[in-house]
Amino acid sequence: MEKGYSIVVTSTDSSVSKYVFISKKRFKIILAIILLVAIIVVIAVANYSRVSYHALEAVLLKRRSVEIEREFEKLQEIKRNLEIAEMNNRKLRIMLGIEKNPTEVEPVINETSSGYSERINMMVNNHENVPSLLPAMGRISRRFTSGHKGIDFAAPRFSPVVAAASGVIRATGWDAIYGNYVIIDHTVNYATFYGHLNSINVKKDNKVNCGAVIGTVGSTGKSTSPHLHYEVRFRQESVDPRGYLPLVLNLKE
């Protein structure tokens, strides 16, 4: 006789009973199927919970990101308002005679730049719109190095900053290091960068002539005193701007 298990089903209102016989082999198969289904259900529930958790986490992160962006915009607005307030306050002090206008800083010229470009191995094409005009009247306070991709002109706040050559405004904006900045494309090869501006007088895609005022000297961004950070970029690489200036200024740190 085949060994197995008998299941008796009896109704409470009837004396009739039904018997179901399940062999051991079939019982094991049924038990294995039940266990497999249980495992699949547990895995599915676990995966669903994990996916739900990540989805919720993504929603929370997105909300937090939006909140951070709003807070950053508020901080930027507060910073701009403080700069405007500082500028207006200074103008008011000057008008009331409490503070005098800053003394103009005149450039100190000690030699001409004849042959300078060749000495630093720069090729200047006379047929191109080369940025060779002084962008601001002031003393060079910091020179071009491997760690400082430009030169700094120390000049009074609100001094005009002009385009070193004719071109098109590629970008204007704010940078954590250089503060208010302007980038001008002069040719396919040449572009210039002007940083730490107090104000910007041009907009993106504006055409500017050589010598046109594009902004004023300031101390925005990471700066300890009013100055202009000026870069010349040749084929997207920063080069020493002194190689393109008509005169070399006295270099004192």
Question: By percentage, how much of the chain surpasses pLDDT 70?
Answer: 73
Structure tokens that stand for 137 in this block: 């009247």
**DSSP state at residue 154:** E
What is the reported pLDDT for 97? 59
pTM for this predicted structure: 0.52
CB atoms inside a 10 Å sphere around CB 239: 20
Burial class (CB in 10 A: 0-12, 13-18, 19+), 180: buried
Kindly indicate the confidence band of residue 160, based on its pLDDT and cuts at 50, 70 and 90.
very high
Q: Given a cut of 70, is residue 96 above it in pLDDT?
A: no
**DSSP state at residue 128:** S
What is the reported pLDDT for 4? 65
Q: 3-state SS string over 187-219? A: CCCEEEEEEEEEEECCCCCCEECCCCEEEEEEC
- The verdict on residue 85 lying in a domain is no
What whole-number distance in Å separates Cα of residue 54 and Cα of residue 128? 56
What is the reported pLDDT for 168? 95
Mean pLDDT of 130-155: 89
- The verdict on residue 57 lying in a domain is no
What is the reported pLDDT for 172? 94
Structure tokens that stand for 230 in this block: 């000026």
What is the reported pLDDT for 223? 87
What whole-number distance in Å separates Cα of residue 168 and Cα of residue 183? 9
- The verdict on residue 76 lying in a domain is no
Structure tokens that stand for 176 in this block: 């954590």
- φ, ψ at 119 (rounded to 5°): -70, -30
- The verdict on residue 18 lying in a domain is no
- The verdict on residue 235 lying in a domain is yes
What is the reported pLDDT for 113? 39
CATH of the domain at 215: 2.70.70.10
- The verdict on residue 37 lying in a domain is no
- The verdict on residue 147 lying in a domain is yes
Highest averaged pLDDT of the listed ranges 68-72, 135-139, 184-188, 239-243 = 184-188
Domain containing residue 215: 109-249
Residues in Cβ contact with 121 at an 8 Å cutoff, skipping those fewer than 6 apart: none
What is the reported pLDDT for 202? 93
Spell out where the chain has E strands. Answer: 4-10, 17-23, 109-112, 139-142, 151-154, 160-162, 167-175, 179-185, 190-200, 207-208, 213-217, 227-234, 237-239, 247-249
Kindly indicate the confidence band of residue 112, based on its pLDDT and cuts at 50, 70 and 90.
very low
Total domain count, the chain: 1
Kindly indicate the confidence band of residue 1, based on its pLDDT and cuts at 50, 70 and 90.
low
What is the reported pLDDT for 110? 32
Mean pLDDT of 210-228: 90
Mean pLDDT of 184-189: 92
Of the ranges 32-36, 87-91, 196-200, which one carries the lowest mean pLDDT score?
87-91
Residues 136, 161 contacting (CB under 8 angstroms): yes
- The verdict on residue 90 lying in a domain is no
Residues 131, 233 contacting (CB under 8 angstroms): no
- pLDDT one-digit tens code per residue, 11-33: 666 666 676 767 777 778 888 88
